[in-house]
Structure 1
Amino acid sequence: MAFNTSLSGINAANADLNVTSNNIANVNTTGFKESRAEFADMFQSTSYGLARNAVGSGVRVSNVAQQFSQGNIDPTGRSLDLAISGEGFFTLSLNGARVYSRAGNFQSDANGYVVDPQGARLQVFAPNANGNGFDVGRLTDLQLLTTDSAPKQTTTVNLAFTLPANASEPTVSPFDPADSNSYNHSTGGITVYDSLGVSHTQTSYFVKTANTGENGENTTNTWQVYNYVDGEQVGDPTTLEFSDTGALTVPAAPGIIALGDFTPSTGAGVLSMSLDISGSTQYGESFALRDTRQDGYASGKLNEISIDTTGVVYARYSNGADQALGQVALTTFVNPQGLQSQGNNHWAESYASGNPRTGAPDTSDFGQIEAGSLEASTVDLTEQLVNMIVAQRNFQANAQMITTQDQITQTVINIR
């Protein structure tokens, strides 16, 4: 009896050493969660239940429990290195089977899919067809784009300017864009793009007119604006009027001028644009150009992949365009300790873990995504070395107990 009891203690101490050894071995394993050996005492039972003065029969390993605490987040500077700050697991597909991980050391394979070192593909919510938001009801493999970004045709040019209140009519008439004496000011060349991404130059010329407004009234705050693309006039000149406080009154709010159609020689479609001059004013004694934005761009090369704290994966291009490729899907469980370890930093759901619940990062109880970082192992090396000493002492004490029992038994045998 005593031999078996001490043997169970040796086995328990050995299991404790095995768990500690595994923790120490994984002190530098990305996303590793330390485990601890948990024990339960044993009693010999009879058909009448436990005897009143029963002595325990030893110890057994009741569980090896993984401790899902938050590990330190260490920056790496690599865009596909991801860490979870808070609750949740990365959702992965390994040959069609769903597995989960806290290790975010991802890379792209030969086909552009984002995978972990074992080839499991990172799962994301796919972008909606209309480009707004993500389809949280559908998971898909994250695949990085390698193609160029398509160009976007310019539809709106935003101009914000201040015309001088003391301006006089030009000395030369009629207006000629080649003669600077026939106009007061110009915007200079603003680059716009056709449907093929070829650039063109749009220019607006401002001419102070006689004191007659659009409706024939007398005014000292009237201008004409002429618009050109690549030296070709687009549309008729448009009258601008300002109030006695310098605010734009004509064209009326929202201050939009429709430009005439321009047909590029590049084979692109007709370029139809509008000029947004809302916020323009007539003040002071000098001309100021405060805004020259436009909404088109040429084709672009892929510069980088970036991921924000909500897990949205963006492809960023040299033309300034961003394209959302998906949103990283996180999964949580009611009982993470019930997950079944698969090795290679993978876990699988089990009956004990409960059903998985998948959602977007930084929503509900899901953690945030830290891009360019990795979650370190939760193993505290100092603590594990102390555990090793304690387990070693327990092993030695139980071994000594067997030696003592052997000596007692030998003494009994030697009685004559």
Structure 2
Amino acid sequence: MSFSQGLSGLNAASQALDVVGNNIANSQTVGFKSGSIAFADVFAGSQVGMGVQVAGVNQSFTDGVLGAGTSSLDMGIQGNGFFRLVNEAGRVFYSRNGQFKSDASGNIINNQGMFLTGYQASGTPPAIQPGAAVGPIQIPTGQMSARASDSGTLNGNLDSGTAAVTNTTFDPADNTSYSSVTQADAYDSLGNKHTINIYFAKTADNQWTAYSRDATAPGDGYQQIALQFNSAGQLTTSPAKLNVQGAAYNGGEALNFDFDLAGMTQQASDTAMNSPTTTGYAPGQMNGYTVGDSGQVIASYSNGQKQLLGQVVLSNFTNPGGLASQGNNCWTETPESGQPVTGVSGSGSLGTLYGNKLEASNVDLSKEMVNMIVYQRNYQSNSQTIKTQSELLQTLVNLG
């Protein structure tokens, strides 16, 4: 019986060394989760055991240390959750390896060619639509379409000490008919840039008139609004909306939107305007893309705009230890793992996703080296029991 006991010990120690060796070999593998071996004794109807058996190899899903990524699509997870991947056949895999890149079609893939899944942004402007299906995320490579300006904002101060205009008939070419002028940029439906001039003319104490004119495509002329301030310099006109109208230009639709002047003040200080803002932009070519810490894939364009392309999702399980390892840092769902709970980073029980980061292996090399020594001694001890039993048998043979 000692032979079988020693032999079982040799097999168990050998498998334990295999686990340690695998951990050490993958100590630099991104997202790798270390394994540990579990032993169980063997009985055969007597109080003397028959040896040892391997009860299983368990994986530790504790977090690895986050380090800097080398690609704009690198991602790391801290806490619960896995990246959800699908292969070309549609089979679903789960991984903690956040090394991703894009293929020729713009799909985000890992090094094995599996597609990273999430929510694809759609609409104008692009957004994640309620009830969107989870599927492969694709990065569009075309240019960003132009957007026509449909609103604007202008804030600033008008000098209360300014003299009233002498010419009350507004004429953009006559600077005696207005007190100051500022410019704003706007865009039509094709992305043609329009220069909008906004004029302010003081007509009496605490009373001003604002005029707008599309200098690029004047159309029918100008629009105007009367502005009334109280003795504290606060604007009392409501709503303070200055309409802008321009003619069609180079094939684009005519401009027609309002500037919000609600933030204007009148104080005894120099007339000064903050930079006007308008919605709308020209078309642009993609300069690059990044993954935010929430898992949002955001592209930047040559027109200075940013646009949401997609949202990476994470999946978690009631029992991650029940997942079936498939190699290539991937696992698949099993009845023991339970069904996945899928959502965005930071929601529910899901951990946090970080962009431009990579999760290192959670292998503790110091611990593995100690384990290797322990299992080596265990192997030697079991071989010694076999040797001792052999010597005892030899003694018995010699007595005969």
Question: Which TM bucket (shorter chain)?
Answer: over 0.9
Say whether residues 1:230 and 2:219 are aligned partners.
Answer: no
Q: Give the corresponding residue for 2:226.
A: 239
User: Please, what TM-score do these two structures have when normalized by structure 2?
Assistant: 0.94
Instruction: Give the greater-gyration-radius structure (CA).
Output: 1
TM-aligned CA distance change 1:355 to 1:236, over 3 Å: closer
TM-aligned CA distance change 1:86 to 1:171, over 3 Å: same
TM-aligned CA distance change 1:262 to 1:324, over 3 Å: same
Q: CA deviation at 1:134?
A: 4.2
Q: Give the corresponding residue for 2:102.
A: 108
Of 42, 61, 66 in structure 1, the residue corresponding to residue 59 of structure 2 is 66
TM-aligned CA distance change 1:135 to 1:341, over 3 Å: farther
Q: Give the corresponding residue for 2:82.
A: 89
Q: CA deviation at 1:173?
A: 6.1
TM-aligned CA distance change 1:165 to 1:129, over 3 Å: closer
Any idea what SS the aligned residue of 2:236 has?
Answer: strand
Identity of aligned residues (%): 39
How many residues are matched?
396
Q: Give the corresponding residue for 2:253.
A: 269
More divergent stretch after superposition (166-175 vs 284-293)? 166-175
Q: Residues 330-349 of structure 1: matches in 2 within 5 Å?
A: 330-349=314-333
Q: Residues 373-388 of structure 1: matches in 2 within 5 Å?
A: 373-388=357-372
TM-aligned CA distance change 1:235 to 1:114, over 3 Å: same
Separation in 1 of the partners of 2:257 and 2:334?
59
Q: For 1:33, give the aligned amino acid.
A: K
Q: Residues 237-316 of structure 1: matches in 2 within 5 Å?
A: 237-250=224-237, 252=238, 254-259=239-244, 261-316=245-300
2:144/2:283 contact within 8 Å kept: yes
Q: For 2:32, give the aligned amino acid.
A: F
- Deviations along 1:236-274, one digit per CA (max 9) or x if unpaired, are 433222122212123x2x311223x31233111121121
Q: For 2:140, give the aligned amino acid.
A: L
Separation in 2 of the partners of 1:257 and 1:265?
21
Separation in 2 of the partners of 1:109 and 1:344?
19
Q: Give the corresponding residue for 1:186.
A: 181
Any idea what SS the aligned residue of 2:349 has?
Answer: coil
Q: CA deviation at 1:350?
A: 1.2
Q: For 2:266, give the aligned amino acid.
A: Q
TM-aligned CA distance change 1:135 to 1:342, over 3 Å: farther
- Deviations along 1:119-161, one digit per CA (max 9) or x if unpaired, are 0000102336575544456211011111111111111221112
Separation in 1 of the partners of 2:190 and 2:389?
91
- Deviations along 1:12-39, one digit per CA (max 9) or x if unpaired, are 1100111101111001000000001110
Q: CA deviation at 1:323?
A: 2.3
Q: Residues 111-126 of structure 1: matches in 2 within 5 Å?
A: 111-126=105-120
Q: CA deviation at 1:352?
A: 1.6
More divergent stretch after superposition (94-103 vs 298-307)? 298-307
Say whether residues 1:156 and 2:140 are aligned partners.
Answer: no
- Deviations along 1:150-193, one digit per CA (max 9) or x if unpaired, are 11111122111211112212355643323333321111x31111
Of 64, 69, 73 in structure 2, the residue corresponding to residue 80 of structure 1 is 73
TM-aligned CA distance change 1:128 to 1:302, over 3 Å: closer
Of 386, 392, 408 in structure 1, the residue corresponding to residue 376 of structure 2 is 392
Separation in 2 of the partners of 1:398 and 1:86?
40
TM-aligned CA distance change 1:129 to 1:155, over 3 Å: closer
TM-aligned CA distance change 1:237 to 1:304, over 3 Å: same
- Deviations along 1:186-242, one digit per CA (max 9) or x if unpaired, are 11x311111100101000111222x4xxxxxxxx22222221112636444332221
Any idea what SS the aligned residue of 2:134 has?
Answer: strand
Q: Give the corresponding residue for 2:28.
A: 28
